[in-house]
A and B are shown apart, each in its own frame.
Chain A
Amino acid sequence: MRKAVGIGGLRRKEAERQALSKKGTELAKREIDKLQEQIGLMKTNLEEFVREHQRDIRNNPVFRVQVQRMCQLIGVDPLASRKGYMAELLGVGDFYCELGIQIIDICVATRFMNGGLIDLEELRQRLIRRRLKGSEPVVEDDIKRAISQLAPLKGGYRIVDFGGRKIVQSVAREMNADTSMVLGLAQQTCKFTIEDVRIGLGWDEHRIRACVDDMLRSGIIWVDHQGAVMSEYWVPAFFSQISGASLSNKIIF
C-alpha cells in the first residue's frame, strides 16, 4: 500500500478511523442492546416465576433457599435494597426483617441466663414456638440470612462454631481464645471441671482459674456444687438444647 502523505492522506486516514470507531460503537451498542434485552427478559421471567410461586416461596423453606441461591447466582440479591422489586415480590424483605426482630427478642430475653450465647437449633425451636401457627417454617439458612441482615445494627450478632455446634452470639463482646477453647471442650457434655480442662487442654491451674472466673463473670457458665466430685461448670447455651429434646413441651422462661 502506498504510504498516504500530505493533507489528502491525513484526511483519508481520519475518515477511516472515524468509520471504524463508528462501526465499533455500533457493534458495542448492538451487544449491549442484546444483553439488556436478555436481562430484561430474564428479569421478566424471574418476576413471573416468583409471582407464580410466591406462595411456595413463603411456605416452603427448601424452595425458598433454592430461589435465593438462584437469585444470587445470576447476581440479583432480593435483599439488597428494601425497595428492590424482588424483595417486594418475594415478600422476603418482610420475612427476614420480621425474623430478625424475633431473633433479637429471643436473644435479649434469654441473655440474662446464657450470657448471650444460644444454640442455633435452640433458637430455631424457640422461633418456631413463638411464631404464629400457620406461618412459614424457619430453617437454619433463614436464621443465618436474618442475622447477616442485623449487621448494620452493630449488636454483635453473629454465628460462632464450636466444634460442630453452631452458637448464636448476641453480645458485642470479643470472645477470647481461651474461652472459645473451653467452650469447644464442653460442647458435647455441656459441662466441665477444672480437671477436664487440665487434662483436655494441658493448661496450668492459674490459666484455667482465670478463664473460668472470666466466664462466670460474663454469665456464659453457671457453677454447680452438688455434682459428683468437684465444682462443675455448666454452659446454659449447650444445655438448653439437650433438655429441649426431652422437655420440649415444658414452659420456658
Chain B
Amino acid sequence: MTSVSETVTTFEFPEIHNFPPFFTRQPNEDTWKVQRQLWCDLILAFYKHNRLSLMPLAEAATESPFSNRQIHRSLQVDTLREIIEELVRQGHAVWTGPKNAKDTCMVYWRKPEVWANIIHMWACEHSLCNTVLTLYELANGDDTVKQEFHGLDLSTLRRSLEILQSQGKAQMFAGTSDDDMGIKFFS
C-alpha cells in the first residue's frame, strides 16, 4: 500500500496506478487520450483528497501520485505538462507564474464557479448579506470551520469571489494585503 502519511485516510489509488505503462506516454493517440483522462481524474481525486491546489510541475513529477516508488515508475515532466494542458482546457486548472512558462499550475478539483455558488449560498443562509467580511474570515474564520471552503487557498477563493462579483452577487474591497481584502455579499 502506498502511504500518504500527511492525510488521515489513505488515498485509494486506482488499479491502473500500478500498471507500469501508465507512466509512459502512449504513442497511440486513442490510448493516449484515455490515459490522459485517467490521469486527469486521478489528479482531481488526489488533490481533492489531500486538499491541494498548487502544483510546481518539476517537483510534483517526483512525488506521489506522479511517481510510484513501488513499481519504480515516474511520469516525465513533459507528459505531465500535456496532462495539465487538458485539465486547463476542461477548466479544472490554470497556469500560474510567468506567462508561457507552464511550469506551475493551480488545480481546481472543484471549479471556482461551483465554489462561488457554495459560498454565496452559505452567506445567504447565515444572513451575512450586506455585511463586510474579510477574505481571511471566510477561509480561516471560526464561523466557516464546518464549511467545505474552509482552508481554501486564497487564489482559488479570490477567483470564486470575482465570479460572484461579475454576477453582481458580491462586491470586493481592497485592503492593505490579500488577507485584508473585504467582501460584501448581496442576496
The interface of chain A, by Cβ under 8 A from chain B, is 112-113, 191, 216-217, 219, 222-227, 232, 234, 236, 239-240, 243-244, 247, 250-253
Contacts and interface: CB of A to CB of B under 8 A. Distances in A.
Given A113-B34, A216-B28, A217-B28, A240 B20 contact: no
Given A113-B38, A216-B31, A250-B12, 7 more contacts: A113-B35, A219-B30, A222-B19, A224-B24, A244-B15, A250-B14, A253-B15
Main secondary structure, interface of A, reads: mixed
Interface in B1-56: 12-16, 18-24, 26-28, 30-31, 34-35, 38, 41
A224 B31 contact: no
A77 to B, nearest CB: 38
Nearest to A217: B28
Interface residues of B, number: 24
A49 B19 CA distance: 49
Interface of B: 12-16, 18-24, 26-28, 30-31, 34-35, 38, 41, 72-74
Main secondary structure, interface of B, reads: helix
Contact of A240 (B15, B27, B28): B15
Given A253-B14, A253-B38, A239 B19 contact: yes
Contact of B27 (A113, A223, A236, A247): A223
A223 B26 contact: yes
A102 to B, nearest CB: 19
A226 B28 contact: no
Nearest to A233: B21
A86 B24 CA distance: 53
Contact of B31 (A222, A232, A239, A243): A222
A222 to B, nearest CB: 3
B72 A226 contact: yes
Contacts of B18: 243, 247
A252 B14 contact: yes
Contact of A226 (B13, B23, B30, B41): B23
Q: Which of A113, A219, A244 gathers most chain B CB within 10 Å?
A: A113
A112 B20 contact: no
A243 B14 CA distance: 11
Given A112-B34, A217-B28, A219-B28, A224 B21 contact: yes
A243 B15 CA distance: 7
Contacts of A244: 15
Contacts of A112: 30, 34
A80 B152 CA distance: 61
A251 B28 contact: no
B22 to A, nearest CB: 8
Contacts of A232: 20-21
13 contacts: A113-B34, A216-B28, A216-B31, A219-B34, A223-B21, A223-B24, A223-B26, A223-B27, A232-B20, A243-B18, A247-B18, A250-B15, A251-B14
Nearest to A215: B28
Contacts of B24: 222-226
Ranked nearest first, the 6 interchain pairs of A and B with the lowest CB-CB distance are: A222-B21, A224-B21, A224-B20, A112-B34, A252-B15, A225-B24
A129 to B, nearest CB: 12
B13 A250 contact: yes
A219 B31 contact: yes
Q: Which of A216, A222, A240, A244 gathers most chain B CB within 10 Å?
A: A222
A234 B19 contact: yes
A94 B74 CA distance: 47
A226 B19 contact: no
A236 B30 CA distance: 15
B168 to A, nearest CB: 41
A88 to B, nearest CB: 40
